[in-house]
Structure 1
Amino acid sequence: MGDKTQVLISILKQQPVVPVLVIQDVASAVPLARALVAGGLKAIEITLRTPAALEAIRAVANEVDGAIPGAGTILNARQYQEAVDAGSQFIVSPGTTIELLDVARKSPVPLLPGAATASEVMSLREEGYQVLKFFPAEQAGGAAYLKSLSSPLAGMQFCPTGGITPANARDYLSLPNVICVGGSWVAPAALVEAGDWDGITRLAAEACLLAG
């Protein structure tokens, strides 16, 4: 677990925002990922919410220099393995199950498991996890809730996702227990559909400045 934790931390700490993508068309995956990488966002979470997701991960892994593709919305062991086979370098789940913990234990690819309560965080800490996805962040209590966990659950780090925007991202990023945030605003559907890759690169570059 220690080595995989360090791999995950090294991926997440590269940037303040991990783009969370719902890709409808495989053809958009490569230019979208290139636009995000050009703006400074190399780690990219492609969610398994569409039929195009696995092929999109495979295309990004094979064709986009500098990209670190990850898979999100992983719900079971089959999806975990399919995402790894497609080239995912990290796996993200909205919550945690025994099945996911079992497959993650056997896989060389690290898991960023979802948690929303103190008990869930404690359970995952017992399993050896140090970095978790806090989801759904805004609906589960927001930055104030996450701040309240920093003292009793010292040493745990989070990637809050869910309702994060440029307006509230700094509230999270200023917390000592936040390593980065997940956000979809850097790749809005309208810009993707229009093929406005320069616009997405600008949004990615602006997101990188949130670390300052």
Structure 2
Amino acid sequence: MSDALRVLQGAAPVMAVANFSSMGHAQACAELFAEAKIPAIQITLSDRQAWQMVKLCKDMMPFAKVGVGSVLSRRQMLRVADEADFAVSPGFSQELSILARKTLTPYIPGVATASEIMAAMNEEHRVLSCFPAANVGGASLLESLSAAFPDVTFYPAGGISATDYLDYLVLEKVACVGGSWMVPSEQAITSNRDDILAMLRQIYG
């Protein structure tokens, strides 16, 4: 079993995909996720303090895998190798694939087409993120791609919500889905923390 597949199976059924708005937001969510025992989180690099947020979550959620999303460059991949547990990209890059292999970093590249899947498979990837899943065909596309590529395990992310994530999880070749809806706003945590905590505990059993 690959390290990338272990990450997804450990995160299942839903990987919390976080685009935190501030350090305060990151801390509030990390406290909530630690209490709910969420097994993994993917933090996007859209905020200038994203790497500090990665460290905060690593410190506050020591039992969880903390990964980085939207990894686009060599510099970012090298930093993931030093500071996080796994990397996810929105697309496929041969350079990043080679670098991840050299640094022993679990890496999940993104794909949206059959041609991209074939390119990733040529670099020995069998665990791929379908992104942006909801916009490129959703669960029906993944069902078709799974038939064409039976050796690939998918991690769909992008546009998936609480109302349709189960449509993806019923597919045999989907190990886990990515969901930003799993990350409540700081205001929601303040006003509705108990209900959010109950929802998270129900998802993760």
Give the TM-score taking structure 2 as reference length.
Answer: 0.90
1:83 aligns with 2:80: yes
SS of equivalent residue, structure 2 residue 15: strand
In structure 2, the residue matched to 1:7 is: 3
Distance 1:190 1:26, change over 3 A: closer
Q: Deviations over 1:26-66 (max 9, x none)?
A: 23324412322432421100100101110010122133231
Instruction: Name the CA distance, whole Å, in 1 between partners of 2:143 and 2:26.
Output: 35
1:134 aligns with 2:130: yes
Contact 1:187 1:200 in 2 (8 A): no
Aligned match for 2:22, one of 14, 19, 25: 25
Instruction: Name the CA distance, whole Å, in 2 between partners of 1:10 and 1:196.
Output: 33
Contact 2:93 2:109 in 1 (8 A): no
In structure 1, the residue matched to 2:38 is: 41
Aligned match for 1:117, one of 73, 88, 113: 113
Deviation at 1:197, TM superposition (A): 4.6
Distance 1:64 1:195, change over 3 A: farther
SS of equivalent residue, structure 2 residue 133: coil
Contact 2:29 2:184 in 1 (8 A): no
SS of equivalent residue, structure 1 residue 91: strand
C-alpha root-mean-square deviation of aligned residues, in Å?
Answer: 2.0
Instruction: Name the CA distance, whole Å, in 1 between partners of 2:60 and 2:163.
Output: 33
User: Which segments of 5 or more consecutive residues in structure 1 lack a partner in the other structure?
Assistant: none
Identity of aligned residues (%): 34
Give the TM-score taking structure 1 as reference length.
Answer: 0.88
Distance 1:10 1:205, change over 3 A: same
Instruction: Name the CA distance, whole Å, in 2 between partners of 1:141 and 1:65.
Output: 36
